[in-house]
Amino acid sequence: MSLSLKAKLLSNEPVGPEIFLLTLEAPAIAAEARPGQFVMLRVCPGPEPLLARPFSIHGVEGGKLLILYQVKGKGTRLLSQARPGVELLTWGPLGRGFDLDAKRPVLVAGGMGIAPMAFAAERLEERGAAFEAFYGLAAKEALVAWDSVSGEGAFYLESWGWTGASEDGSVGHHGLVTEPLRERLKQGGERPGAVLACGPLPMLKAVALLCAEFGVACQTSLEAPMACGVGACLGCAIPSAGGGYLRACQEGPVMEASLVDWKKI
Ligand X SMILES: Cc1cc2nc3c(=O)[nH]c(=O)nc-3n(C[C@H](O)[C@H](O)[C@H](O)COP(=O)(O)OP(=O)(O)OC[C@H]3O[C@@H](n4cnc5c(N)ncnc54)[C@H](O)[C@@H]3O)c2cc1C
Beta-sheet pairing, 19-25 with 3-16: antiparallel
Tell me how far, at minimum, the Cβ of 183 lies from ligand X, in Å: 28
Tell me how far, at minimum, the Cβ of 3 lies from ligand FES, in Å: 17
H-run or E-run covering 7: strand 3-16
Which of ligand FES, ligand X, none does 247 bind, CB closer than 5 to 8 A by kind?
A: ligand FES
Give the binding site for ligand FES (CB under 6 A).
226-229, 231-236, 247, 249
Give the binding site for ligand X (CB under 6 A).
38, 53-56, 68-70, 72-76, 112, 115, 223-226, 253
Tell me how far, at minimum, the Cβ of 141 lies from ligand X, in Å: 15
Which of ligand FES, ligand X, none does 70 bind, CB closer than 5 to 8 A by kind?
A: ligand X
Tell me how far, at minimum, the Cβ of 255 lies from ligand X, in Å: 11
Beta-sheet pairing, 53-56 with 218-221: unpaired
Closer Cβ to ligand FES, 86 or 233, answer by number: 233
- Give how far Cα 246 sits from Cα of 169, 178, 235, 238, 255, Å: 36, 25, 11, 5, 9
Which of ligand FES, ligand X, none does 110 bind, CB closer than 5 to 8 A by kind?
A: none
Task: For residue 31, report the phi and psi dihedrals to the nearest 5 degrees.
Answer: -65, -30
Closer Cβ to ligand FES, 130 or 232, answer by number: 232
Q: Spell out the residues 6+ positions from residue 187 whose beta carbon is closer than 8 angstroms to its own.
A: none
**Selection from 164, 187, 168 nearest residue 177 by Cα:** 164
